[in-house]
Chain A
């Protein structure tokens, strides 16, 4: 079964760029028409979907993040990544990567399961 694991710095300075990687095991990120998402969780705003990348060529980002967000993938490493620029304390959160949920051969781009275990990123000087 597919498993996801986030990695990256736990501390980022204000105004810098947050970079995280999600490593996928148990399946190829290009093995189907899957959607690979980033979601974050804060005590204040709760769960917030950030965006997804799909290997049919689609990326779709939460409009609230404007031009700060970029997602990319390294298929040779079976990884996809998140970059969030110009971070502030409001970007402090637990960041999760997730795949769209599939039931049998049907996958739902708007549902998220499985998830990684999450990684805490703190924005502070």
Chain B
């Protein structure tokens, strides 16, 4: 099973700053990596797919990069509503999610 690890576990930043969230896969998953945002009390929402494509309705301040085993979600400039837990998900072998990074603004 492919294991996804995310770092840091928690990130505290201020509005207007840049957030860099990392997701590492235990083996090569090409660019089959997605990011989801989950605000408190809500279901997850797709933010980025295929490593770097923004989902419909997602602001341009969200960007994704990476391939193979190392991936990054960047949010800049941060806004208060970006406070959430962000999960990465792979689909190269089954569908699994990372443990999440909590972003506090």
Give the interface of A toward B (CB within 8 A): 46-49, 62-63, 96, 98, 101, 103, 108, 110-113, 115-118
Contacts and interface: CB of A to CB of B under 8 A. Distances in A.
Interface residues of B, number: 21
Given A115-B44, A116-B43, A117-B43, A110 B95 contact: yes
B56 interface: yes
Contact of A111 (B46, B87, B94, B100): B46
A48 B95 CA distance: 8
Contacts of B75: none
A116 B43 CA distance: 7
A108 B49 contact: yes
Contact of A49 (B42, B95, B100): B95
Given A62-B94, A111-B49, A118-B43, 17 more contacts: A46-B87, A46-B99, A46-B100, A47-B97, A62-B95, A96-B43, A101-B55, A103-B55, A110-B32, A110-B91, A111-B89, A111-B91, A112-B36, A113-B46, A115-B44, A116-B43, A117-B43
Q: Is the interface of B mostly helix, strand, loop or mixed?
A: loop
A103 B87 CA distance: 20
Interface-centre pick from B43, B97, B100 (highest chain A CB count, 10 A) = B43
A53 B105 CA distance: 38
Q: Is the interface of A mostly helix, strand, loop or mixed?
A: strand
Interface string B68-105: 00000000000000000001010100111111100000
B23 interface: no
23 contacts: A46-B97, A46-B98, A46-B100, A49-B97, A62-B94, A96-B43, A98-B43, A103-B55, A103-B56, A110-B32, A110-B95, A111-B34, A111-B91, A112-B36, A112-B44, A112-B46, A112-B89, A113-B45, A113-B46, A113-B55, A116-B43, A117-B43, A118-B43
Interface in B36-69: 36, 42-46, 49, 55-56
Contacts of B96: 49
A40 B94 CA distance: 15
Contacts of A96: 43-44
